[in-house]
Amino acid sequence: MKIKDGFVKCKIGEKYLVVTTGSLSAENNIMIELNETSSEIWELISKGFTAEEIAFKLADKYQIPVEKAKTDTDLLIENMKKAEIFEDE
Amino acid sequence: MPEFVIDVANLNIAVNCEYDFTYKFCRDYLTEAEPDFGISVSPESVDKEIDESPYNPSRPYAESICVYREIAEKLPFFDRCVFHGAVISYDGAGYIFTAPSGTGKTTHISLWQKYLDGVEIVNGDKPILHITDDSVTAFATPYAGKEGLQNHSKCELKGICLIEQAKENTIRRLETSECLMRIMVQMYKPYEAAAAVKTLELLDRLLKNVPVYLLGCDISQDAVRCSFEALTKLDFDERKKDSEN
């Protein structure tokens, strides 16, 4: 899964805001609000990690069960797919 | 049309365009000073503006919109951004009222003028904000809405008020997490990614420096009392005009 080019992300207060830029705005002009964990997952996806790898990293960092981390990761990825954030592969 | 320079938001901007409409439109802002940066508008941009507009504008008018868009693209690199809202000043402090078009920003600020003395309209539609680490200044611009309300001045911004029409007049302060998207949609979002990132950083700084309120209001005197007291922390009854017009 590859995030389309043209998204930029910035921390605003305690949350993160993602907006589209350039030609992506014409195709899919959206704005997304992320919390700390979702922002981390977004960063890991953009670095090329798979959902499983991300879940293990989160489980390790936050000392939570891998199943919970996987559920959270899968949920965000599902929402990102619905919002057409990924390139077609 | 020869190049001309305008002084907007304490920046001198060189403008290159085809028609003299923008030159005349910006007559209060012309300057002989050396430009800080320049912009130009291509005929293709004007074509695109006309194609995408629901209003079938003339070429000169469409070009003036393109001029402001080109300026807005560059402003974030100077810690500034175009903001959609009506700015008024009262007692030396500036307040922005913002909402989707048609909700009642202009009505609400005209009510402030009706019930209070000393209310100045700084800019009725698209002011420029200069956002530093510890202060925000709102500047008048030639782009001041269909009523053309602006007075070529500036003020220190002390509050932002989101307006919603409502049966009862209520106001509450919003946390950053509650309003970041609602404020972001009122800021000009640049096409270029680097400028867009800068704009988000300016949004963060803006929300750290200026309180945001959500006002639900009708068009009565009580609506003014509600927003006035929350924004200024002053007593409305002590400040209002003695007799209504």
B178 vs A: CB within 8 A = no
pLDDT of residue B124: 83
Q: Which one is predicted more confidently, B36 or B103? A: B36
Average the pLDDT over B164-187 and give the result: 95
pTM of the model: 0.93
B193–A22 C-beta distance less than 8 A: yes
Complex ipTM, two decimals?
0.91
| Euclidean distance between CA atoms B194 and B197, whole angstroms | 5
Nearest-Cα distance to chain B for A75, in Å, is 21
pLDDT of residue A82: 93
- Judged against a pLDDT cut of 60, whether residue B32 lies above it is answered with yes
A17–B189 C-beta distance less than 8 A: no
Nearest-Cα distance to chain A for B67, in Å, is 18
pLDDT of residue B242: 79
pLDDT of residue B49: 95
Task: Please report the beta strands in chain A, taking only residues with DSSP state E, as ranges in sequence order.
Answer: 7-12, 15-20, 31-34
- Judged against a pLDDT cut of 60, whether residue B245 lies above it is answered with no
- Judged against a pLDDT cut of 60, whether residue B156 lies above it is answered with yes
The pairing of strands B154-165 and B93-98 is: parallel
Report chain B's mean pLDDT, rounded to a whole number. 94
Average the pLDDT over B52-65 and give the result: 94
Query: How many CB pairs below 8 Å do chains A and B form together?
Result: 54
The tens digit of pLDDT for each residue in A69-89 reads 999 999 999 999 999 999 987
**pLDDT category, B150, cuts 50, 70, 90?**
confident
Identity at B173, one-letter amino acid code:
R
- Judged against a pLDDT cut of 60, whether residue A37 lies above it is answered with yes
| Euclidean distance between CA atoms B204 and B198, whole angstroms | 10
pLDDT of residue B243: 55
The tens digit of pLDDT for each residue in B84-143 reads 999 999 999 999 999 988 888 889 999 999 999 999 999 888 999 999 999 999 999 998
DSSP state of A4: P
Average the pLDDT over B48-65 and give the result: 94
**pLDDT category, B10, cuts 50, 70, 90?**
very high
What are B4's strand-pairing partners? B15
Q: Which residues of chain A neighbour B181 with C-beta distances below 8 Å?
A: 17, 31, 33
Of A14, A19, A22, the CB nearest to B200: A19
Q: CB neighbours of A20 closer than 8 A, spacing ≥ 6?
A: A6, A7, A28, A29, A30, A31
A31 vs B: CB within 8 A = yes
pLDDT of residue A55: 96
